[in-house]
Amino acid sequence: MKFFVDTADVDAIRELHDLGMVDGVTTNPSLILKSGRDILEVTKEICSIVEGPVSAEVVAVDADAMIAEGRKLAGIAENIAVKVPLTWAGLKACKVLTDEGRMVNVTLCFSANQALLAAKAGATFISPFIGRLDDMNIDGLELISDIRIIYDNYGFETQILAASIRSANHMSEAAKIGADVATAPPNVIKAMAGHPLTDKGLAQFLKDWEKTGQKIL
């Protein structure tokens, strides 16, 4: 499973990238707001760090304006994936932009039917939002499972990009289901390294090592 980082924080992206943990980046208007930076400028900087797809989201709501915004965003760098919402207008924009050879990430997906439409419109990525479904007491991971079955049934090449990931558990479950990509905030990716038995075991090893009186360096 590829790891995308769901942030517009360049320092956090750089840190994870140096560890080989970043296959791509996703941003959205809320993350741009959080960064406090200009969308074109920050997206360009992210694209200079990351080789893989960097999603930049349109904010227009009608298809023609989405297409125009998408073309402008795609002009930032070769590795831009234009992010459009899963509305009828977004699907139209997806079809036009993919026909032009651009990567498109269809976002705000909350149902298997929406994912089916995005694949028919040629989306490069479909972004089902796990956490926001969980927030409503609907199993977000079940949606990832359903989309996996549907895409595999018909050989759709659209990649399932599990989004709105809130916990390390979401990451391993998405990987078990076979999501192609998961996008998570930096703190969730870091939380994947944590285990209380690791901490406990390390504390014991260090205590015993101290007693040997030895040094490695």
- With CB atoms as reference, the residue minimizing the distance to ligand G3P is 164
Residue type, 188: V
Per CB under 6 A, contacts with ligand G3P among 154-193 are 163-164, 183
Three-class DSSP category at 95: helix
* CA distances for 189 relative to 67, 95, 147, 176, 185, angstroms: 33, 32, 23, 16, 7
Residue type, 88: W
Q: Cβ 183 to ligand G3P, closest distance in Å?
A: 5
Q: Which residues, at least 6 apart from 141, have a Cβ–Cβ distance to it below 8 Å?
A: 130, 170, 173, 174, 177
Reported as type and span, the H/E element at residue 133 is helix 130-134
Residue 28 binds to ligand G3P (criterion: CB under 6 A): yes
Q: State how far the Cα of 7 lies from the Cα of 5, in Å rounded to an integer.
A: 6
Which part of the chain contacts ligand G3P (CB under 6 A), choosing from 14-22, 64-72, 127-135, 191-199? 127-135
Q: Is 83 a catalytic residue?
A: yes
Residue type, 94: C
Among 65, 131, 146, 167, binds ligand G3P (CB under 6 A): 131
Smaller CB separation from ligand G3P, 26 or 35: 26
Q: State how far the Cα of 33 lies from the Cα of 100, in Å rounded to an integer.
A: 29
Q: What is the distance of C-alpha 42 from the center of its chain?
A: 17
Smaller CB separation from ligand G3P, 143 or 208: 143
Active-site choice (44, 72, 83, 190): 83
Smaller CB separation from ligand G3P, 59 or 203: 59
Which part of the chain contacts ligand G3P (CB under 6 A), choosing from 39-47, 87-95, 111-119, 129-137? 129-137
Total binding residues toward ligand G3P, as defined by CB under 6 A: 9
Q: Which residues bind ligand G3P (CB under 6 A)?
A: 6, 26, 28, 129, 131-132, 163-164, 183
